[in-house]
Amino acid sequence: MWQYLPMNVARLLLQIAVILAACRVLHSVLRRMGQPPVIGEIVAGLLLGPSLLGWLAPSWYASLFAPDSLPLLNSLSQVGLVLFMFVVGLRLDLQEVRESRHVAGLAGLLSIIVPFVAGLGLARPLHALVPEAPALLFSLFLAVSMSITAFPVLARILTDQGLTGTRLGQVAITCAALNDLVAWTLLAWISALAQSGGEAASVISTVGLLVGYGVLMIYGVRPAFAWLTHRFQAAGELPVILVMAFLSSWATEKIGIHALFGAFFAGAILPRGKDDASRRRVDEAAAKLEPITMVVLIPLFFAYTGLRTNLSLIGGSEAWVYTLAIIAVAVVGKVGGALLGGTILRFGVRDSLALGVLLNTRGLVELIVLNVGLDLGILSPSLFSMMVLMAVTTTLMAVPGLKIVLRMPSHTGRPVFGVAGQIFGRRESAGQSSSGF
Amino acid sequence: MWQYLPMNVARLLLQIAVILAACRVLHSVLRRMGQPPVIGEIVAGLLLGPSLLGWLAPSWYASLFAPDSLPLLNSLSQVGLVLFMFVVGLRLDLQEVRESRHVAGLAGLLSIIVPFVAGLGLARPLHALVPEAPALLFSLFLAVSMSITAFPVLARILTDQGLTGTRLGQVAITCAALNDLVAWTLLAWISALAQSGGEAASVISTVGLLVGYGVLMIYGVRPAFAWLTHRFQAAGELPVILVMAFLSSWATEKIGIHALFGAFFAGAILPRGKDDASRRRVDEAAAKLEPITMVVLIPLFFAYTGLRTNLSLIGGSEAWVYTLAIIAVAVVGKVGGALLGGTILRFGVRDSLALGVLLNTRGLVELIVLNVGLDLGILSPSLFSMMVLMAVTTTLMAVPGLKIVLRMPSHTGRPVFGVAGQIFGRRESAGQSSSGF
């Protein structure tokens, strides 16, 4: 047959159709089970990969996702992730983080630090699976990936469960925002470390470039942008905003930090004053970018992740023990950190647990981090598959877990760790109670 | 330096930033001259190509648009075109075409047929430039490319000039919609012809498949879609709509008709009843797809077109004579056809000329057709460059031309071709006059 389009573009049209259809179907099925939409899309991606489709219908799978079509699928999903991370940055309200940092700051930090430390501990036995990865890099990466919270998924769950306006919801969202900021900054440092290969001179040059980039963005681009907006009333326009986003993304990639960090940072520093107009401008830009990004491009990323995930690589009982250990450490680390934080905030057991279950959703953000790890060679394909399973499990747990926890009696006003609460809690005793949910 | 992204994806981030910035700047400059936005973007694409950037700064050009980065740029712009043609189909109001077909139908057909015939005439001398292209195919292709009107550009000009509600505006938009429908159907037939290589059996099989596809879409997909919408209130959702669009696009590509035809057709047949709800649903889908498509992806297509256009290939006085001849035939054919049509509608000279100038905008649609021609080998790179210059010139002419024409006295009620008007005009004498503009 005659072909107008390059073969891989023609196949891409079919791939997009199949991926979107699978996402839509699983979206419906899992939605009925009370799961947030993203879960259906992640599961759809896994099912289209070697774990199900490639196993059920190998020849159909081989022709739909022929190896020569994968670079294009990957490229398109990378552009999608750049747009997505930019939108996450745009939607990140630093003002809100700053305002409620006294309330949620310590809890947020604990819900990052505890799983981070737990991840460091887990890294020792797991390193045997990827002996070729540098030990320090491997440990740091595993620690970061344990401490991820998926901001967008969490926001969605809070809306679905009607928790947005509650104190639990506000604390959870602030913790998640803080988490995004810390996780991506940590990942940038890990990337800098990986890039330099541990050489001191190289570390210094990368760190120098990173600091220079940050200074330029905050003290150069940000005010220039605000001035442009004020002067021409035009800087809020989508093309101008996008030029900045793509340039920032390209710059971080060139420095040796992942392109996604630049996209996220560009969104986060975009000036949004207290006034409604500049706030609305940022929201409008995000709203314009979201439909194609979320409906078309992110599902391609899920499918690409699914193609790289092969659950049959988790072979043998030992591998499944590792997988269960990863899931257990991830859950215990995150929920434990939140419990500790909740105690300090004088939350009851119920609300502390609820905060933990919420912050335990790793969703899309974790998958992005895992793909970076696989690309960097820090993860092996089998460890990648285990970690993907952990990301899916912790995200799947959120809604049912939340429902179970919220059914608990809420009048157990007693903090979980009585002593710890008495030690840490004193400074926060200004009449904050867990009632009013 | 460490690279996370594949080299061509990293470069793509910079390419997108540069292309969007160039579009934005030229958009501003040309907007001040009263030109529609698309013109700035088309010109930006040309300037980024070998015609200017590659000539001024060859080493920078060579590193920014390295040959190995072009397939990705092309793939992304093709996905953009699929989305764009789908939106054009969505925005095409067949109801409107049907309702005003008695008024504008004949004028619309004439404004297609006259430049088509003129194109057939021009094909004879021009065939010497691409002797390797089959003569019939070459003639048909040139005829179609002469008869193109850019529906989206025209709609934009009408809005800018405040002509949307006038009779001139309505007739122009109906003619342009008809033109889209006819041009893409003709192109589909030409593609079928090219695909079959003129073999009778092959022609029949392609035509059979095309008819089968059309029947399936109109009598299968369309009612199924309407039923789904009615039954689940959900078919209007973007993912479902997009699955249909990409499948249709893929199917036409497989049949041997260009993928863009399938995308356009999917948009055009999407059920939109007379009721506001279904109308709004289609408009919402289009509005969600437009921002990234129009702001990011279409500029990539313009840049890709600019990279393939090399004005220095139009070398020697003979080539420039050809170029001028192409422009002259395009303008005279289109304006002549509209004048004839205007006469039949009993438009005065002024309004007939205005209709001609409006329908003469070839813009983006022409560039898409020309790229198909270059891909099919019907156009040589130098003839492609000449035709691109024609597309840009006719589009640039529209706004200034319209302003000059509308300054003419409008009370010359006398039809241009008195005799033709008397012959063809009788059936249209139901009190339609050119006043009221």
DSSP string, A232-275: HS-TTSHHHHHHHHHHHHHHHHHHTS-HHHHHHHHHHHS---SS
Which chain A residues are within 8 Å of B192, Cβ to Cβ?
none
- Average pLDDT along chain A: 82
Q: What is the pLDDT of residues B289-332, one digit of tens each?
A: 988 998 899 899 989 888 888 888 887 888 899 999 999 999 99
Q: How far apart are CA A354 and CA B208, in angstroms?
A: 61
Which chain A residues are within 8 Å of B17, Cβ to Cβ?
242-243, 246-247, 250
Q: How far apart are CA B149 and CA B174, in angstroms?
A: 11
Q: How far apart are CA B373 and CA A324, in angstroms?
A: 58
Q: Which of B3, B5, B78, B290 to probe the A interface (max A CBs under 10 A)?
A: B5
Most confident of A147-161, A312-326, A384-398: A384-398
**8 Å CB contact of A247 and B72:** no
Q: Nearest CA of chain B to the CA of A28: how many Å?
A: 11
**DSSP letter string, A361-374:** --HHHHHHHHHHHH
Higher pLDDT, B24 or A203: B24
Whether the pTM exceeds 0.80: the reply is: yes
Taking CA atoms, B264 is separated from B99, B244, B269, B366, in Å, by 21, 11, 9, 15
**Residue B8 CA to its chain's centroid (Å):** 30
Q: Is the pLDDT of residue B120 over 80?
A: yes
Confidence of residue B189 (pLDDT cuts 50, 70, 90): confident
What would the 3-class secondary structure string for A150-217 be?
Answer: CHHHHHHHHHHCCCCCCHHHHHHHHHHHHHHHHHHHHHHHHHHHHHHCCCHHHHHHHHHHHHHHHHHH
Q: Nearest CA of chain B to the CA of A258: how many Å?
A: 6
Taking CA atoms, B71 is separated from A373, B8, B75, in Å, by 27, 9, 6
Confidence of residue A208 (pLDDT cuts 50, 70, 90): confident
Helix, strand, coil content of chain B in percent (nearest 5): 80, 0, 20
Q: From the CB of residue A199, how many other CB atoms can be counted at a distance below 10 Å?
A: 11
Q: From the CB of residue A278, how many other CB atoms can be counted at a distance below 10 Å?
A: 17
Higher pLDDT, A348 or B73: B73
**Among residues of chain B, what percentage have pLDDT more than 90?**
27
CB B349 within 8 A of CB B418: no
Q: How far apart are CA B121 and CA A301, in angstroms?
A: 51
Q: Is the pLDDT of residue A101 over 70?
A: no
Q: What is the pLDDT of residues B233-280, one digit of tens each?
A: 655 588 889 999 999 999 988 887 778 888 988 988 887 766 667 777
Q: What pLDDT does B418 receive? A: 42
For the segment B79-102, the average pLDDT, to the nearest whole number, is: 77
CB A112 within 8 A of CB A337: yes
Q: What is the pLDDT of residues B157-181, one digit of tens each?
A: 887 787 877 778 878 877 887 787 7
- Average pLDDT along chain B: 82
Cα three-residue angle A106-A111-A116, rounded to 5 degrees: 120
Q: How far apart are CA B198 and CA A380, in angstroms?
A: 54
For the segment B392-418, the average pLDDT, to the nearest whole number, is: 75
Q: What is the pLDDT of residues A36-66, one digit of tens each?
A: 878 888 889 889 988 888 888 999 999 899 8
Q: Is the pLDDT of residue B137 over 90?
A: no
**8 Å CB contact of B292 and A293:** yes
Q: Is the pLDDT of residue A386 over 90?
A: yes
Alpha helices (H) along B5-69: 7-32, 37-48, 53-56, 58-64
Q: At what angle do helices A37-48 and A298-308 cross, to 10 degrees?
A: 40
Q: Is the pLDDT of residue A251 over 90?
A: yes
**CB under 8 Å to A31, separation ≥6 — which residues?**
A37, A40
Q: How far apart are CA B244 and CA B90, in angstroms?
A: 13
For the segment B75-96, the average pLDDT, to the nearest whole number, is: 84
Q: Is the pLDDT of residue A417 over 60?
A: no
Confidence of residue A336 (pLDDT cuts 50, 70, 90): very high
> At residue A421, what are phi and psi to the nearest 5 degrees?
-65, -40
**8 Å CB contact of A291 and B289:** yes
Closest partner CB to A242 (pick from B3, B258, B296): B296
**CB under 8 Å to A236, separation ≥6 — which residues?**
A229, A278, A281, A282, A284, A285
**8 Å CB contact of B1 and A243:** no
Which residue does chain A place closest to B245, by CA atoms? A17
For the segment B412-420, the average pLDDT, to the nearest whole number, is: 44
Closest partner CB to A13 (pick from B27, B253, B375): B253
CB A141 within 8 A of CB A374: no
**CB under 8 Å to A134, separation ≥6 — which residues?**
A194, A198
Token pair 């995000």 is at which residue? A286
**Exposure string over A159-184, b if 16+ CB within 10 A, otherwise e:** ebbebeebbbbbbbbbbbbbbbbbbb
Which chain A residues are within 8 Å of B291, Cβ to Cβ?
238, 288-289, 291-292
Q: How far apart are CA A321 and CA A319, in angstroms?
A: 5
Which chain B residues are within 8 Å of A83, Cβ to Cβ?
292
Q: Nearest CA of chain B to the CA of A330: how many Å?
A: 26
Q: What pLDDT does A408 receive? A: 79
Which chain B residues are within 8 Å of A288, Cβ to Cβ?
291-292, 295
CB A93 within 8 A of CB A178: no
**Residue A400 CA to its chain's centroid (Å):** 20
CB A103 within 8 A of CB A171: yes
Q: Which DSSP state fits B174?
A: H
Q: What is the pLDDT of residues A273-305, one digit of tens each?
A: 666 677 778 888 889 998 899 889 989 998 988
Confidence of residue A429 (pLDDT cuts 50, 70, 90): very low
Q: How far apart are CA A46 and CA B161, in angstroms?
A: 52
Q: Is the pLDDT of residue A436 over 50?
A: no
Q: How far apart are CA A350 and CA A402, in angstroms?
A: 10
Which chain A residues are within 8 Å of B243, Cβ to Cβ?
17, 20-21, 24
Q: Is the pLDDT of residue B195 over 60?
A: yes
Q: How far apart are CA B358 and CA B16, in angstroms?
A: 31
Q: How far apart are CA A284 and CA A282, in angstroms?
A: 5
Q: Is the pLDDT of residue A236 over 60?
A: no
Which residue does chain A place closest to B196, by CA atoms? A2
Q: How far apart are CA A205 and CA A195, in angstroms?
A: 11
Q: Poorest-confidence range of A227-241, A325-339, B411-425?
A: B411-425
Work out the end-to-end distance of chain B between its first and last CA atoms, rounded to an integer number of angstroms: 63
**CB under 8 Å to A161, separation ≥6 — which residues?**
A399, A402
- Both tokens of B352, joined, read 């007939």
Q: What pLDDT does A418 receive? A: 42
Q: How far apart are CA B227 and CA B271, in angstroms?
A: 10
Which residue does chain A place closest to B8, by CA atoms? A75
- Both tokens of B53, joined, read 């950037």
Q: How far apart are CA B203 and CA B170, in angstroms?
A: 38
Alpha helices (H) along B197-258: 200-215, 222-232, 238-255
